[in-house]
Structure 1
Amino acid sequence: MTPVSNGAGELRGPLAVVAPGDRGANRITDRVVSKIASQAAREALGVLPAAATAPHATVVVHHGSVRIRVHLDLAYPADIGARCAEVRRHVALRVRALVGMEVPEVAVHVERLHLTPAHGAAQGRTR
């Protein structure tokens, strides 16, 4: 152990080494995990339709794992299943990477579908 300076040029006693188990722990709140999941969903969706609301997430954290529910709007027509799968995959990867928790479930709820401008002009049946 080496002596430590107190900033004024004086030396104090040696620095005590604290065992990793005695140092404490970090607690990441549900709100932080929810914000990370919401941002990850925005990243996965890319550009949103003009009238769409931003994705938001609710989470349940329990013993080092998190279950996530993402609510979002999608452009239509699109492959809804593929878009939801991409959101599910990206949210799970980002939360696992940034928070270090297991993500056994990401449920995606599509709140609204927004017609894209090219498809919004046609009304009713066309021949």
Structure 2
Amino acid sequence: MTEQAPVDRVAVPAAERGATRIADRVVEKIAERAAREALDAPPDGAGAPHAQVSVRGASARVRIGVELGYPCDIGGQCASVSRQVTDRLGELAGMTVPEVTVLVERLHRAGPENGRTR
């Protein structure tokens, strides 16, 4: 039997080994889920939050549409969604989020549906 010479292994720096790319659709799904987590109990008949993202490298700009119950603290709800989306994308995808635009697409009135309340 012949002995083989040991192979010299040279460590390749991490930056040269390759990269992980997260699809835009995955980033959208994470943002939508984060928005659901941030909102109080959704009103009856409300649609699920939906997101559009623009990803450049490790940075994502997010535009997310939500439906809220009325009356509520609209500004507080939007701020909560923005914080949660930023935090979750950082935790799960390692992305920075310089901008989150929250669009309130519809308000759902609580209470009787007869059009008049006192």
Give the TM-score, by structure 2 length: 0.84
Higher RCO (C-alpha 8 Å, min separation 6) = 2
Please report how far the alpha carbon of residue 50 of structure 1 lies from its aligned counterpart in structure 2 after TM superposition: 1.3
Q: Distance in 1 between matches of 2:10 and 2:92?
A: 28
Give the percent of matched residue pairs that are identical in Structure 1 and Structure 2. Answer: 49
What is the match of residue 33 of structure 1? 27
Offset at 1:46?
3.5
Secondary structure of 1:21's aligned partner? helix
Tell me the C-alpha RMSD between the 2 structures: 2.0
| Aligned partner letter, 1:105 | E
Task: In structure 2, list runs of 5 or more residues that go unmatched.
Answer: 1-5
1:70 is matched with 64
In 2, distance between residues paired with 1:71 and 1:78? Answer: 16
Map 1:57-96; keep pairs closer than 5 Å: 57-96=51-90
Partner residue in 2 for 1:3: none
- Contiguous gaps of at least 5 residues in structure 1: 1-12
Residues 1:99 and 2:93 are matched in the alignment: yes
Match in the other structure for 1:44: 38
AA aligned opposite 2:74: I
Structure 1 residue 56 corresponds to structure 2 residue 50 = yes
How do 1:15-30 and structure 2 match up within 5 A?
16=9, 18-19=11-12, 20-30=14-24
Structure of higher CA gyration radius: 1
What letter matches 1:21 in structure 2? A
**Structure 2 counterpart of 1:115, which letter?**
R
